[in-house]
């Protein structure tokens, strides 16, 4: 009897544990490491919306040159540094150049520094403008990628060319 009552208690404990883990509602399911597929789509849409527009991970409306994506990624790192700074000081901060960004915001941009000059201007309690300007005699020459961040608003991106050459092309003779 003693062994069977211990087994009964074990089964009761196992049943209680399954209710805790899976829940008792209609939509109960075992927890997994990855969210459901529909949740993945929702998460990706939300993340892409933070980049100023909603797009799915599978279809981007316009292909971008890798050098432009590199600048956007670096500007995203600057955004993270600015948000961390804001948490401590309740304002954003201007910075000029990769060294200043490293000291003020803790953002290391050494990998992209050969191609881009970075700066943050117009910093206030409500936002800032970060810019990546392509360096002369590099494949980023003539390209300016700007990220405008205003708290509570989607990020605004602008990509402009200061000359007519495509990314990665050489300037025309005499230009």
Model confidence pLDDT, tens digit, residues 73-111:
999 999 999 999 999 999 999 999 999 999 999 999 988
- pLDDT given for residue 40 in this prediction: 39
Structural domain includes residue 166: no
Q: How far apart are CA 22 and CA 58, in angstroms?
A: 32
Section 150-157 average pLDDT: 95
The pLDDT of residue 3 is above 90: no
117 vs 170 pLDDT, higher one: 117
Q: Give the C-alpha distances (Å, rounded to integers) separating 108 from 55, 120, 129.
A: 28, 14, 18
Regarding whether 74 and 35 lie in a shared domain, the answer is no
Instruction: Report which of 145, 140, 147 is spatially closest to residue 166, judged by C-alpha positions.
Output: 140
Structural domain includes residue 173: no
- pLDDT given for residue 33 in this prediction: 41
Structural domain includes residue 61: no
- pLDDT given for residue 52 in this prediction: 40
- Report how many domains make up the chain: 2
Q: How far apart are CA 80 and CA 149, in angstroms?
A: 11
Structural domain includes residue 85: yes
Regarding whether 87 and 151 lie in a shared domain, the answer is yes
- pLDDT given for residue 12 in this prediction: 52
**What band does 162 get if pLDDT is binned at 50, 70 and 90?**
confident
Per-residue pLDDT tens over the stretch 33-78: 444 444 434 434 443 444 444 333 344 445 578 989 999 999 999 9
Structural domain includes residue 138: yes
Regarding whether 150 and 89 lie in a shared domain, the answer is yes
Regarding whether 100 and 146 lie in a shared domain, the answer is yes
Q: How far apart are CA 52 and CA 156, in angstroms?
A: 5
Section 128-144 average pLDDT: 95
**Measured in whole angstroms, how far is the alpha carbon of residue 10 from the centre of its chain?**
47
The pLDDT of residue 27 is above 50: no
Regarding whether 70 and 42 lie in a shared domain, the answer is no
Regarding whether 157 and 99 lie in a shared domain, the answer is yes
> What percentage of the chain has pLDDT greater than the value 90?
50
Structural domain includes residue 151: yes
Structural domain includes residue 54: no
| Predicted model pTM | 0.59
Average pLDDT for the chain: 73
Regarding whether 11 and 81 lie in a shared domain, the answer is no
Regarding whether 14 and 91 lie in a shared domain, the answer is no
Regarding whether 45 and 7 lie in a shared domain, the answer is yes
Structural domain includes residue 42: yes
Exposed e or buried b per residue across 76-107, where buried means at least 16 C-beta atoms within 10 angstroms of its C-beta:
ebbbebbeebbeeeeebbebeebebbeebbeb
Residue with tokens 């100023």: 52
Cβ neighbours of 23 (radius 10 Å) = 13
Q: How far apart are CA 112 and CA 39, in angstroms?
A: 34
Q: Domain of residue 124: give its range.
A: 66-161
Q: Show the tokens assigned to 102.
A: 């490293």
Regarding whether 157 and 74 lie in a shared domain, the answer is yes
- pLDDT given for residue 10 in this prediction: 53
31 vs 55 pLDDT, higher one: 31
- pLDDT given for residue 65 in this prediction: 85
Regarding whether 134 and 80 lie in a shared domain, the answer is yes
Regarding whether 127 and 71 lie in a shared domain, the answer is yes
């Amino acid at each position: 009897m003693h062994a069977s009552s211990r087994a009964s208690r074990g089964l009761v404990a196992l049943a209680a544990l399954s209710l805790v883990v899976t829940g008792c509602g209609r939509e109960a399911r075992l927890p997994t490491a990855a969210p459901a597929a529909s949740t993945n789509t929702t998460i990706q849409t939300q993340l892409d919306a933070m980049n100023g527009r909603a797009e799915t991970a599978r279809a981007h409306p316009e292909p971008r040159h890798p050098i432009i994506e590199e600048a956007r990624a670096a500007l995203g790192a600057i955004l993270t540094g600015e948000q961390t700074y804001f948490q401590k000081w309740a304002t954003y901060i201007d910075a000029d150049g990769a060294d200043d960004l490293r000291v003020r915001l803790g953002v290391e941009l050494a990998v992209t520094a050969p191609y881009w000059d970075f700066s943050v201007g117009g910093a206030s309690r409500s936002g800032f403008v970060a810019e990546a300007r392509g360096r002369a005699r590099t494949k980023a020459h003539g390209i300016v990628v700007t990220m405008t961040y205003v708290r509570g608003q989607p990020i605004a991106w602008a990509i402009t060319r200061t000359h007519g050459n495509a990314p990665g092309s050489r300037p025309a003779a005499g230009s």
